[in-house]
Amino acid sequence: MKSSTLLARAFACVAALASLNILAAASQAQQQLLVADRLSNSVFRYSASGALLGTVLTDNVNLLGPSGITLSPDQTKLFVTSTGNNLVVQYDYSVATGLATNGAVFADAADGLSFPSSVKYSQDGSKIYVSNLGGSGVAQFNTNGTSAGAPINGLIGGGAYFQYSGLAYAPGGELLVGAFQNFPAGDAGAVAKSNLPISALADFIPGSASLNGASGLLVNGNDLYVTGMFAGTIGRYNATTGAVDPSFGVSGLAFPQGLIASPDGNGFLAGILGVSNGSGNISHYAYDGTLIGTFALPGGGGFTEPTAFATVAIPEPATLGMLTVAVGALGLTVRRRMA
């Protein structure tokens, strides 16, 4: 093989690595928050400080009560669960414009969806998991929308917990699943945990009144945070063993649902639905449970009822300039060697 061809291929590989490294640094430097709103069938975009940046999408054709959102690893696709009509809808997403377009049904009731709640990519990016409140387990799909296997399920609490909500990953890679509420009592919630590879669920955090309406799950290090929507609580547990942390407790909340690490890198955010439409907010907490303040309030052209979150990594202009310079320098080196 000619040396010129080898150099050209080497240039392409090094340029790609430079791009990935620089963009990875950018993702740590700046993030934005996407917020799903159940009442308006919309997704809104906020800065890391809580300022409304605009509407990502409003879709009254495909969406009926969005309750979960996630971005593809390359941030070009946005997935939204629509609980009221048993859909997962896929959109093209532009980081540059902050807009989601070309909505299309990714999965529906015929694919096993029954009141879909949360949606999450597998850690290797090859699958998409969708939890279901209607008792059909956690559906799993390939990224092209075809089935990736049977629903993930188990006899949680002896079979009393079959309404699945929030999704997260344990430190060991197992899938953690919020078990929303026991049936028929309806007075407690729990958390289930998968095996490895992810194919079945088993008991993890046993049923508790303080977890009634278990919804949002967030893992930070070896800590697992869980909202109890009907209990009005946020609890903290050992993410490996499931043991409760008795030193932590946030209570008295008006229907907390989603959790996400704060885009400013300081603590976490909790979506508070409120006792009536438009009375909730997004609250900002330190990881020790201290209330930092209100991240965002409803209205002003933004959310009415914040149900789910996703973060977007935003490359900074300086980073893009670095990328251009780096690739240009590599190109000059290759041309000199090929001359």
pLDDT at 198 (0 to 100): 98
pLDDT at 275 (0 to 100): 94
pLDDT at 305 (0 to 100): 96
How far is CA 331 from its chain centroid? 38
Q: Are 182 and 160 in contact (CB under 8 A)?
A: yes
Distances (CA, A) of 115 to 100, 109, 135, 179, 291: 23, 9, 9, 14, 32
pTM confidence score:
0.86
How far is CA 50 from its chain centroid? 18
pLDDT at 322 (0 to 100): 45
Other CB atoms within a 10 A radius of the CB of residue 51 amount to 12
Map residue 279 onto helix, strand or coil: coil
Residue 186: left if φ>0, alpha if ψ -120 to 50, beta else—which one?
Answer: left
Condensed to tens digits (0 to 9), the pLDDT of residues 215-273 reads 999 999 999 999 999 999 999 999 999 999 999 999 999 999 999 999 999 999 999 99
The residues spanned by each domain of the chain are 1-30+323-339, 31-314
Q: Name the nearest CA neighbour of 272 among 309, 236, 247, 224.
A: 309
CA triple 215-216-220, angle to 5 deg: 145
CA atoms within 13 A on the CB side of 324: 7
pLDDT at 316 (0 to 100): 77
Mean pLDDT by 10 residues, the chain (339 residues): 43 42 50 98 98 98 98 98 99 98 98 99 98 98 98 98 99 99 98 98 98 99 99 99 97 98 98 94 99 97 97 77 43 42
User: In the CATH scheme, what is the code of domain 31-314?
Assistant: 2.130.10.10
CA distance 155 to 241: 19
